[in-house]
């Protein structure tokens, strides 16, 4: 880390540093990590510190603007969960939606049986299952749970598993 000198006034625009040059500042095109800059594109820095407006670039305060993978949906991103690994129901690396129930196509690789065409679709549950099964995502009498044993708390007969202490 660089030692600050007495005449090194970071951000000053009217002072003079050694050799009669302006002191280090955001917007000088030099990344100054010792002054907490994350980026510095000089005159190409955005004129705002709004991360959504400065998407993919450097903001006026030398902080990174929004970008795919930062965990915040920005710009034209359909989603951004920060992991973006493309697993079912999450986000792809490019911040587009990964395969999921409700995306318009039945995906048997992800155990989908149908695709709801509207909310409260009588022919397909919100879990992309045909109605009436234990794992359809709906708890209907005499069911107590609806995941067909997938989480370990529900039996394959849709009865809640009760664990008793030893």
| pLDDT per residue as tens digits for the range 52-96 | 888 889 999 999 999 999 999 988 899 999 999 999 999 999 999
Let me know if residue 122 belongs to a domain.
no
| Claim to verify: residue 3 and residue 59 sit in the same structural domain | yes
Query: How far are the Cα atoms of 33, 106, 114, 128, 139 from residue 119, in angstroms, in the given order?
Result: 51, 16, 13, 12, 17
Give me the pLDDT at residue 6, please: 47
| Claim to verify: residue 35 and residue 61 sit in the same structural domain | yes
Which residues, including other chains, have CB under 8 Å from residue 92's CB and lie 6 or more apart?
84, 86, 98
Last residue of a domain, one of 98, 114, 147: 98
Let me know if residue 61 belongs to a domain.
yes
Give me the pLDDT at residue 125, please: 85
Region at 63 (left for phi over 0; alpha for psi -120 to 50; beta for the rest)? beta
What average pLDDT values come out for the chain (166 residues) when binned by 10 residues?
52 61 85 92 92 89 93 90 92 94 91 88 87 72 68 70 64
Which residues, including other chains, have CB under 8 Å from residue 4's CB and lie 6 or more apart?
10
State how many domains the chain has: 2
Let me know if residue 90 belongs to a domain.
yes
Let me know if residue 141 belongs to a domain.
no
Let me know if residue 7 belongs to a domain.
yes
pTM of the model: 0.57
Give me the pLDDT at residue 60, please: 94
Give residue 94's domain range.
68-98
Let me know if residue 118 belongs to a domain.
no
């Amino acid at each position: 880390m660089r030692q600050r000198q007495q005449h090194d006034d970071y951000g000053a625009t009217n002072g003079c540093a050694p050799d009669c040059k302006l002191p280090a500042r955001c917007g000088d095109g030099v990344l100054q990590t010792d002054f907490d800059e994350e980026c510095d594109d000089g005159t190409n820095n955005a004129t705002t510190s709004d991360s959504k407006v400065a998407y993919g670039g450097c903001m006026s305060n030398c902080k990174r603007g929004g970008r795919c993978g930062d965990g915040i949906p920005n710009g034209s991103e359909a989603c951004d969960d920060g992991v973006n690994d493309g697993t079912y129901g999450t986000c792809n690396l490019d911040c587009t939606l990964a395969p999921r129930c409700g995306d318009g196509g039945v995906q048997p690789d992800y155990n989908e049986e149908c695709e709801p065409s509207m909310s409260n679709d009588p022919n397909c549950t919100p879990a992309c299952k045909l109605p009436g099964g234990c794992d359809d995502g709906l708890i209907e009498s005499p069911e107590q749970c609806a995941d067909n044993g997938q989480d370990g708390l529900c039996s394959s007969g849709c009865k809640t598993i009760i664990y008793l202490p030893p």
